[in-house]
Amino acid sequence: MTAIINISLKNGVLDSQGKAVHHALGSLHFDNVEDVRVGRQIVMKLNSKDTASAKEEVTNMCEELLANTVIEDYEIEIIA
């Protein structure tokens, strides 16, 4: 089982990296870009028995270590 975790800064928390990338794209004349958010992706292989238990386990990992919930949101995708 594979878990894909996407972690990004919460809406309303200024994303300086996203802003810098947005600016750089603009200077390359990619003028169609409205907003850029830069996050972190963590991919892990798990020995879970089903997707529900995998999701629960990964949620705990996010809450305890992988994300800083003061400033970050996370999304979890489990692929069987």
Using CB under 8 A, list all residues that contact other proteins.
Answer: 9, 13-14, 16-17, 20, 64-66, 68, 70-71
Closest contact distance (angstroms) between CB of 49 and other proteins is: 26
Question: How far is residue 74's CA from residue 67's CA, in Å, rounded to a whole number?
Answer: 7
- Burial (CB < 10 A; 0-12, 13-18, 19+), residue 49, is exposed
User: By C-beta, is 65 or 80 nearer to other proteins?
Assistant: 65
User: By C-beta, is 36 or 51 nearer to other proteins?
Assistant: 36
Closest contact distance (angstroms) between CB of 79 and other proteins is: 22
Long-range contacts of 21-30 (CB under 8 A, 24+ apart): none
User: By C-beta, is 34 or 64 nearer to other proteins?
Assistant: 64
